[in-house]
Each structure stands twice: as structure tokens, then as C-alpha cells.
Amino acid sequence: MRLGISIERIKPGRPQQNGRHERMHLTLKKEATKPASYNFLQQQERFDEFIEVYNNERPTRGA
């Protein structure tokens, strides 16, 4: 809020109203958690790598 970002809520039980966010979670699950890493540090490395690729390297479509 301090940065001028407003909160928008979706109706309960309507994930299709927030498709981009739901898709990000599906991609995260597929690429960074299945199968789980051997230990916490290895799992954290996978999350960190996912975030880097997801935010900076993956191809995006126009909004």
C-alpha cells in the first residue's frame, strides 16, 4: 500500500480469476519440488534457481 500497490481480492473458490498466479504455482511445483531434494539446502538452491529463471530468463508473452 505504501508503494501505491492496491490489493485486489478474488472470489473464494474461483482460482481462474487469478490465472497467472495459479500458473506460477503449478510451474514452481513441477520444476522445483518434484521430486523433493535430499535436504533443505539443496531444496533452497532449486527454489533460488527457479526464481532467477522465472523472473529473468524465461520467455514471456505480452500481457
pLDDT score recorded for residue 61: 63
pLDDT of residue 62: 56
Q: How far apart are CA 54 and CA 52, in angstroms?
A: 6
| Digit-coded pLDDT (tens) for 45-58 | 999 999 999 889 87
What is the chain's pLDDT, residue by residue, as a tens digit (63 residues)? 788 888 888 888 887 888 888 888 899 999 899 898 999 999 999 999 999 998 898 776 655
The confidence score (pLDDT) of residue 39 equals 95
pLDDT on residue 50? 92
